[in-house]
Homo-oligomer: A and B are copies of this chain.
Amino acid sequence: MNSTAKSYISTNKDRFIEELFSLIRIPSVSAHTHRQPEILQCAERWTEILLASGADSVKILPTEGNPVVFATKFIDPKLPTIMVYGHYDVMPAEPLELWSSKPFEPEIRDEKIFARGADDDKGQSFMHAKAFEYLVKNNLLKCNVKFILEGEEEIGSSSLEKFCKENKELLKCDTILVSDTSMLSADKPSITTGLRGLAYWQIEVTSASRDLHSGIFGGAVANPIMELSKILAQLTNADGKITIPHFYDEVEEVSDYERELIAKIPFNEEEYKHDLQIKAVSGEKGYSTIERTGIRPALDICGIWGGYTGEGSKTVLPSKAFAKLSARLVPNQQYEKIAQLVSEHLTQLASKNIDIKVSSLHGAQSYVCPIDSKEYKAAEAAYTKVFEKKPLPVRRGGSIGVIPIFEKVLNVKPILMGFGLESDAIHSPNENFPLDLFYKGIETIIEFYNEMSN
């Protein structure tokens, strides 16, 4: 069977790549409101691909935000149903000048696909369509299949909770499969068993009502960038702890036994530093790098701007300064509560000389997947067959907003069968996806279906 799948993939690979490229070429950037036409165009293109891959019915369903692509293939109501989740929206590609090739004109170099969305999540979602195609075309499908592809993952999946609640029957399934995460490395397969939650804020600090001449007013009027810097600088201390009161109150304390298991996950600090070209790893005192990104929360400033940012020198005392702040959350931390307490704390830190406005932009709960379920074991067996190594269960630092929603609303624990690598540079310039993992991913998904039918 494995060789049949391999040979099907090999025979059809040029077509697979061309179909994937047709999705990538559509700049479906959900953060940019002017990209609405491309969002819809990408949803339409997905319907064509799913129909051609063997779905019985494909619909574009409205939500309060961007629509959902929903496809089904029914074999027998008595058979179990697998639902595949993915997203067709992508992150903004900026800063464009750091890309070696154009982000929405995919290019294969060094056996990798370079483009925004090559991995996250067009590349990874598309592997499911092609594994499904293989099973349908070869009469090997032994379960019912649903596909749900959303268009707001990169902006917080804010419409999906309501959509899930209102469409429980439509979305009813036994298993949820998601490929939107990464593995430890190409030769160290791993399955993501935990995701951090997310909260995100925009901060706006205002001093005078207009930009001022820094010579005439400098020293007598508060500088909003300095005030913002002082606020931000206070949010973490020298031990890398977040100083916001009550931030850690609900953080799950991981047992010593689990920390021992984490310590066994292969990690080469020198390689990590070399790959990122950093001088040192850093973060919360008392925790390893894998713990810092897996079981501990983190606070990051994702963006900052204010005043003159052009070439050369302009002497100005700006009116405003802005920052974007995000927190990665761990099990038990409620993002709504964190969003609220951080907003309040930021406001309290502001001096009386300025106005501060804090907006909470989006959030997601964290997620933990059990490793003793039938689905986890099927995934484990599938990876073992294709990668010839047993995959390690690893908690990862990223957030996928809909995962805890599926858990809560549909009462199914999604399986995170990711095939990305940290070097894929998702959310960054030069995002890429190795062809080798693209093909192996399709094979692994096929094996998963086989395992589940056994």
Contacts and interface: CB of A to CB of B under 8 A. Distances in A.
Total copies of this chain within the assembly: 2
Interface-centre pick from A156, A228, A313, A355 (highest chain B CB count, 10 A) = A313
B304 A315 contact: no
A444 B198 CA distance: 64
Contact of A216 (B154, B198, B396): B396
A115 interface: no
B198 A32 contact: no
A54 interface: no
Given A229-B232, A276-B212, A219 B296 contact: yes
Interface string A201-241: 01000011111111111111111011011101111100010
B326 A313 contact: yes
A94 interface: yes
A190 interface: no
Contacts of A302: 214, 307-308, 313-318
Given A229-B301, A278-B353, A216 B155 contact: no
A92 interface: yes
A200 B351 CA distance: 26
Interface string A350-388: 011111000001100000000000000000000000000
A196 interface: yes
Contact of A317 (B200, B300, B311, B429): B300
A187 B127 CA distance: 75
A213 to B, nearest CB: 5
Given A210-B430, A229-B229, A427-B316, A218 B298 contact: yes
A215 B233 contact: no
Interface string A28-42: 001111000000000
A218 B311 contact: no
A284 interface: yes
Nearest first, the 9 closest Cβ-Cβ pairs linking A and B are A219-B298, A215-B398, A303-B307, A209-B277, A233-B233, A31-B312, A225-B301, A303-B308, A211-B428
Given A98-B211, A219-B297, A309-B324, 7 more contacts: A155-B312, A215-B399, A219-B298, A220-B281, A220-B292, A303-B306, A313-B326
5 contacts: A208-B276, A213-B398, A220-B289, A226-B300, A301-B306
